[in-house]
Amino acid sequence: MQGSERERSDADQGIAAAGGEAANYLHTFGVPDVVEVLLPDTSGVLRGKWVPGHAMEKIWKDGVAIPQSIFGLDIWGGEVDSTGIHIETGDRDGICRPVPGTLKPVPWSPQPAAQVLLTMFKPDGAPWMLDPRQQLVAQVDRAAKLGFTPTVAFELEFYLMKPGAPGAVPEPVFPATGQARQNMYAMSDLDAFADVLHEMRAAAVIQGLPADTVISEAAPGQFEINLYHRPDPLAAADEAILLRRLIDGVARKHGLRATFMAKPLADFAGNGMHVHVSLGDGAGGNAFARPDGAGDRLLRHAAGGLLATMADSLLFFVPSYNGYRRLVPASYAPTGISWGFDNRSVAVRVPNGPPAARRLEHRIAGAEAHPHLVLAAILAGMMEGIEREIEPPPPLTGNAFEGETERLSPYMAEAVARFLASDYIGRTFGADYQRIYGVMKREELAAFTRAILPLEYETYL
């Protein structure tokens, strides 16, 4: 038997023994050259390994060993010593298991490749709660105890950029020549990059990602791809993080760069991550559509909880130094703690639609944020409001940027300080997670504040 044939035979037997998903993949696509095992870290950066395709069964049989301290890496992939979870602990391994439903081909790869998303557990099988996905699991379980199954849809904005040198000012694929170049909802902009956008949609079909609308957004080279609503919040967040990888991979294949950076261009709109959430009632209905005012009360309390917890949770929604540049009116991002009906200037919007589709749209998060943490914070806020029956202020009409509402801080230092001091964050996400996440972001902020900006050289040199 030839070597490649032997590898295929061994893989066939091993993957079949592993069962289910891996065996189905092999039957449909054959043995890939590599399996890319993907573990999103605390910043949503995908880390992991390449596993030979013929050894695929080991991923399901044994799991993948990755240091637990991967969740103590900063945005640059460096160890944050002040977290206290690196070498001082012996840098122990966690055991990462495949997330069901995420083993998919990688259509933009130059060689036959598969990918699978991982989530981390301790060696004894307990969840490793520094994994953001496990934080989302905890909030989904909290909702379930109240009788709710969240239905979720993500919307992701991004820019297509021309390739450039690292650190250079980005150049969008369309000239940024002032307000006249906004060209919002332009079919011509979609047509200009139809080959790239259609390939993104085709890759989403191959990977089973429920991509929906594609829109030319409010800036030159800015687009939005929406995901269909899912009655499985964990799958919805998984798909959001994998859609970002897909968009980036297909763009690179076409010699372009896709960025989810919250504010890549000073004079144009930032990139947002809008999240739509309704609550299933366990009987196939929408709890926000309950009769006799019960659905209205539930929706108000959920909105009230989101508003009451928004400032404490801001560091989850806006985790990057650059993200706070987006919290100004010129970025089209809500800047006040507000809600309203069919009003895109508020932080929490109730879109128009029939009662069965009644939902809340959370509009604060930047596109660079971690989908699992964003959704965990949203669900936590909603459950807080429902459990405590928090009544929100009256819904705003008109321009919320000019309303008399509490403003979200545009300064990362204030968001970090509030996060670390919050009793709500500590009891909801755990004191360890609060401390570790907070000190990581504090260290990132310190690195940016130590840097000297080009403007300083232009001004003072």
Give 116-125 pLDDT, tens digit per residue: 999 999 999 9
Tell me, what's the pLDDT at 17? 45
Exposure string of 181-202, with b = 16+ CB inside 10 Å and e = fewer, is ebbeeeeebeebbeebbebbbe
> Is a pLDDT exceeding 80 seen at residue 10?
no
Q: In the 8-state DSSP scheme, what is residue 403?
A: S
Tell me, what's the pLDDT at 166? 78
Tell me, what's the pLDDT at 8? 44
CA dist., res. 387 & res. 161, Å (int): 45
Listed in order, strand segments (DSSP E) in 7-88 are: 34-40, 46-52, 64-67
Tell me, what's the pLDDT at 15? 47
> Is a pLDDT exceeding 60 seen at residue 88?
yes
Q: Model confidence at 7, in pLDDT bands (50, 70, 90)?
A: very low
Q: 166-180, 216-230, 340-354: which range is least confident on average? A: 166-180
Residue of 322, 357, 363, 318 lying closest to 345 (CA atoms): 363
- How does pLDDT run across 424-441, given as a tens digit for each residue? 999 999 999 999 999 999
> Is a pLDDT exceeding 70 seen at residue 423?
yes
Residue ranges and CATH numbers for the domains of the chain are: 3-128 (3.10.20.70), 138-460 (3.30.590.10)
> Is a pLDDT exceeding 50 seen at residue 2?
no
CA dist., res. 369 & res. 244, Å (int): 11
Tell me, what's the pLDDT at 1? 38
> Is a pLDDT exceeding 60 seen at residue 140?
yes
Tell me, what's the pLDDT at 184? 74
- Asked whether 349 and 361 are in contact (CB, 8 A), the reply is yes
Q: Rounded to the nearest 5°, which phi and psi values hold at 319?
A: -90, -10
Element (H, E) at 107: none
Tell me, what's the pLDDT at 175? 73
Tell me, what's the pLDDT at 179? 52
Q: At what angle do helices 3-18 and 20-29 cross, to 10 degrees?
A: 140
Average pLDDT of the segment spanning 384-407: 91
Contacts 24+ apart (CB under 8 A), 432-436: 432/129, 432/130, 433/129, 433/130, 433/135, 436/71, 436/72, 436/83, 436/84, 436/85, 436/130
State the pTM of this model: 0.93
> Is a pLDDT exceeding 70 seen at residue 330?
no
The single-letter code of the amino acid at 166 is: P
> Is a pLDDT exceeding 90 seen at residue 274?
yes
Greater confidence (175 vs 384) lies with 384
| Torsion sign (Cα): 324, 325, 326, 327 | positive
Q: 237-251, 283-297, 365-379: which range is least confident on average? A: 283-297
